[in-house]
Structure 1
Amino acid sequence: MVFSSTLFLFYFLPGFLLLYFLAPTRLKNAVALIGSLLFYAWGGLNFLALFLGSVVLNFYLIRLMDAAMGWQKRIYLTSSILLNVGMLFYFKYANFFLGNLSEVKTALGGEALHWQQVVLPIGISFFTFEKLTYSIDVYRGVNRPLRSFWDFLLYIMLFPKMIAGPIVRFHEIAEQLQDRSAFDTVDQKLAGLFRFVIGLAKKVLIANALGQEADRIFQLNPAELSAPLAWLGAVAYTFQIYFDFSGYSDMAIGIGRMLGFQFPENFNNPYISRSITEFWQRWHITLGRWMRDYLYIPLGGNRVKPARLYLNLWTVFLLSGFWHGAAWNFVAWGAFHGLFLILDRLFQLRLSRLLGPLSIVPTFLITVVGWVLFRAESLSAALAYLGTMFRLDWPSHSLVGLSPEFWTTLGLAATLSFMAALPRVERWELGWLTAEPMPLRRAIGLGLLTVVLFLLSASYVVSSTFNPFIYFRF
């Protein structure tokens, strides 16, 4: 069940919030856990028992690790990591590796392999990272392990963040799992509701409208595709994935705030970045921080020689691409970004300082090209699409027939994406919801805007059958 569905908006969320707010403090965790189990079971009942079994094993492995010393401590940590990574590898990558092995075998004259396709459990990439961060944080002494298994299960399964993040590291909400009274205020609930509705509007009013046209363009036969139309499809998808994913993150953060949880921010106007390095400091922030703290720094970080540093960067982004999807185009997407991160280190950061705000343009174009690798069904399809984008024939009639609604939505998406390039706008965005206590005038304004945006979004959800969620498959 996705957040922008009628089932979630009109039945699950109101019913859950009503029970949660009416429950006494000592029972709120129980209500949140039961709601999270029901939420996951709706879309992944076949995997619920396996998932719960892995959580039980992880919980007791870490308890044993915390009580152990020396090499025994490392053995328990290694066992926990192998358990979690092994599950992720099997469910997400078995089909990829067996498929490629079958193609190699066929090319060498052998028979193709036959196997039963492995079904991907919902949200496995995100909750695997959270189980790993729990294990590693306890091993490093950042936090003591939770005493209650039910609190640990709630940390992993808390439904707002379970399907597509943000990736919440254990130490970020360890205390909130046991006491959220500091954030249980009317201002927090109002801000959370508004944040949820903003995310819903970004998802259904902008991302969906752009996604319909982007899907149509990417599905065209190459013979029907002109360079201008290919660029338009790529740009439409560039804005679609941002408003889709950041909208979902806004909804998750908003629900968390209504429950008294403070989830970390996941996006910060990524398309105003002046380099690919800055882009990754603004895009999917929780993934970037996870990769930095649990992979890049353990590999040596910035403390190694330049050649090793570049290898580390490329390794991290190859793995980041592979984490997003088990296909060669995702690996190519990771390698593409890794290449530009290395170029940033070599000279592009100096170039961005020379160009100033104008460096937003080449950075955005690089990002658009990268999204084609991400969006295409295969690496060969991505290369064919990119070949069309960089053809020299630009027929003037190729953009005829696009609806006024699409052009209006595209203009709105571009405006909202780039207006934070003005420093005052970005400061206003960062601070306008954080003031506590919230002034009455602001509360009234937020309330009215929330009602209007919710009515518009709800009417779209009820009337439209096009409601994909890009990151749902990760």
Structure 2
Amino acid sequence: MVFSSTIFLFAFLPLFLAVYFAVPWRSVKNVVLLAFSLLFYAWGEPVYVWLMVGSIVVNWGFALLMDRFGSGSGGSHALKSDVRPWPRKLLLALALTVNLLVLGFYKYEGFLARNINAALGEQFIADLQLALPIGISFFTLQAITYVVDVYRGEVKVQKNPLYLGMYIAMFPQLVAGPIVRYADIEHEIDHRRATLAGFAQGLRLFCVGLGKKVLLANTAGVLADSLLPRNAADIGFVGCFSGVAAYTFQIYFDFSGYSDMAIGLGKMMGFDYPRNFNYPYTATSATEFWRRWHMSLGGFFRDYVYIPLGGNRVKTPRFVANTMIVWGLTGIWHGAAWNFVLWGLYWGVLILLEKFFIMRALERLPRFVSHLWCIVLFFFGWLLFAVTGLHNVVEWFCAMFGAYGFSGTSTVWELQSWSYVSLIPVMVIGSLPWAPWLRKKLEAWAEGDVHREIVAAPQKGNEAVPPCQVTLARPAATPARARVVSAVNVAVDAALFAVFVLSCMSVASSSYNPFIYFQF
């Protein structure tokens, strides 16, 4: 089941909200959320739901055992003498091993088998061709953050397995993120408050995300799916450029749309999930791009891989090695194929180049030049991400520079790229932060501007005293301005309702609704 489906929009979500808000006790709400989350997952993965239940039980057990041997500086045991480090380290190692082995078996068994057999020239390992459990990468990483944070003493152990299960299986962020750490919602499990204002804010964000996914990502995906599987020689420069450009918009609106919907659903229930995308296509460097793109994933690798390896507080060779290890893991996390590994290493090399050589030059250049630099970086990065097979990647790269002519063996009419030109401004505007900018300006206008005046300070003898800055009173918002703000809010809500209706109509009438998170 996915958010942009008729069964979710018209059956699952209304039924869940009705039951969830019908029960008055938070403890029962937690159980309701767990039950509906397991139902949500079992709808598409009836067999693998037991894999998730097993993950919940195993991580709950390991964390409890670690707590038995002391809970570090931040846990329930007051005396550090009570902490026995070696059993705790052993339990942490076992917990990480179990989690990573399960993830590795289901996600990478076929990849390893194919590559080992190709290297040996014989069928040494059987390729089991396992179906990938949806969302296994997300709920495994969340389980890892929980056991590691319990080991570090940064969170208290959760003794109720149903509550831990609710955290790991929580359906809003189960299959598409963001990666929510247990520390992010530890307090909210028992103390969250669902308010009408929070529910309305979450509903608005859900509508925004649904529109991104259905109206923008799916539209761009039609063109991308028609071009990306083809040979570069058949479609030439126009086809290859159009395919990668369409995928560039598809993956952003798809990923950020799902994150917006997840965060919105969380707000409806009183949870504050971390932000996952912050207009990454406005970045001016590779470093900034990854501070804005899939922020929860970047935070995970920073706090649970990069820093434990030593981070940047090591000598240069070790720093370079740490960076490339993290980016190699980031690439392989996204998919079991060499192009994903190459994509991760591509970003690792770029970030190192910026760190040692390029960043100083970028800081001196006008912002639009730095922005063009970043556009080129993520454009060719998505080429590595979208086109499978290293040989095909090389051909597509050559096609970008005219190796197969303007349109290859096809005509421009056959490629259908021309029919999407009118959508480019919509896609560009949708990826820019104009909405928060306008909201900030409107709020400042409604509240009145703060006026500051430079006045001379009194002299102290013969000393020269600099002038001081005096802040005058903020003028009160007038009723007329308040009415304008109310009218704008009503118009925005009406527009979001229209987006929701159009999205539902598109979902109901179209069979094209790809779920590109499936490979994760």
Question: Which of the numbers 390, 396, 405 marks the counterpart of 1:385?
Answer: 396
Mark the CA change 1:454 to 1:331 in structure 2 (over 3 Å): closer, same or farther.
Answer: same
Contact kept in structure 1, 2:223 and 2:417, CA below 8 Å: no
Q: Equivalences for 1:194-205 in 2 at 5 Å?
A: 194-205=204-215
Greater CA radius of gyration, 1 or 2? 2
Mark the CA change 1:361 to 1:419 in structure 2 (over 3 Å): closer, same or farther.
Answer: farther
Q: CA RMSD in A?
A: 2.3
In the TM superposition, residue 29 of structure 1 has moved relative to its aligned partner by 0.9
Partner SS for 2:116: helix
Distance in 1, matches of 2:186 and 2:172, equals: 16
Q: Which residue of 2 aligns with 1:314?
A: 324
Distance in 1, matches of 2:395 and 2:102, equals: 34
In the TM superposition, residue 425 of structure 1 has moved relative to its aligned partner by 5.5
Distance in 2, matches of 1:440 and 1:219, equals: 49
Contact kept in structure 2, 1:194 and 1:446, CA below 8 Å: no
Deviations 1:319-347 (A, max 9, x none): 00001101100000001001101111012
Q: Which residue of 2 aligns with 1:160?
A: 172
Question: Is residue 18 of structure 2 the alignment partner of residue 18 of structure 1?
Answer: yes
Distance in 1, matches of 2:436 and 2:511, equals: 39
Give the TM-score normalised by the residue count of structure 1. 0.93
Question: Is residue 455 of structure 2 the alignment partner of residue 454 of structure 1?
Answer: no
| Amino acid corresponding to residue 347 of structure 1 in structure 2 | F
Q: Equivalences for 1:288-299 in 2 at 5 Å?
A: 288-299=298-309
In the TM superposition, residue 134 of structure 1 has moved relative to its aligned partner by 0.2
Q: Which residue of 2 aligns with 1:51?
A: 52
| Amino acid corresponding to residue 297 of structure 1 in structure 2 | I
Give the structure with the larger helix fraction: 1
Partner SS for 1:175: helix
Distance in 1, matches of 2:258 and 2:268, equals: 15
Q: Which residue of 1 aligns with 2:423?
A: 409
Contact kept in structure 2, 1:103 and 1:112, CA below 8 Å: no
| Amino acid corresponding to residue 502 of structure 2 in structure 1 | L
Distance in 2, matches of 1:428 and 1:118, equals: 52
Deviations 1:103-133 (A, max 9, x none): 1222xxx456544322211100000100000
Q: Which structure 2 residue ranges, 5 or more long, are not aligned?
A: 70-83, 446-484
Question: Which of the numbers 131, 134, 143 marks the counterpart of 2:155?
Answer: 143
Q: Which residue of 1 aligns with 2:517?
A: 471
Distance in 1, matches of 2:279 and 2:143, equals: 29
| Amino acid corresponding to residue 166 of structure 2 in structure 1 | L
Contact kept in structure 1, 2:236 and 2:406, CA below 8 Å: yes
Q: Which residue of 1 aligns with 2:2?
A: 2
Q: Which residue of 1 aligns with 2:118?
A: 103
In the TM superposition, residue 31 of structure 1 has moved relative to its aligned partner by 1.2
In percent, how many aligned pairs have the same letter? 42
Q: Which residue of 1 aligns with 2:464?
A: none
Distance in 1, matches of 2:284 and 2:151, equals: 37
Contact kept in structure 2, 1:328 and 1:379, CA below 8 Å: yes
Q: Equivalences for 1:115-130 in 2 at 5 Å?
A: 115-130=127-142
Q: Equivalences for 1:341-352 in 2 at 5 Å?
A: 341-352=351-362
Mark the CA change 1:469 to 1:156 in structure 2 (over 3 Å): closer, same or farther.
Answer: same
Question: Which of the numbers 106, 111, 116 marks the counterpart of 1:91?
Answer: 106
Distance in 2, matches of 1:43 and 1:258, equals: 24
Q: Equivalences for 1:25-44 in 2 at 5 Å?
A: 25-26=25-26, 27-44=28-45
| Amino acid corresponding to residue 281 of structure 2 in structure 1 | Y
| Amino acid corresponding to residue 92 of structure 2 in structure 1 | L
| Amino acid corresponding to residue 473 of structure 1 in structure 2 | Q
| Amino acid corresponding to residue 379 of structure 2 in structure 1 | V
Distance in 2, matches of 1:86 and 1:121, equals: 14
Distance in 1, matches of 2:15 and 2:42, equals: 17
Mark the CA change 1:322 to 1:431 in structure 2 (over 3 Å): closer, same or farther.
Answer: farther
Contact kept in structure 1, 2:172 and 2:266, CA below 8 Å: yes
| Amino acid corresponding to residue 63 of structure 1 in structure 2 | L
Q: Which residue of 2 aligns with 1:243?
A: 253
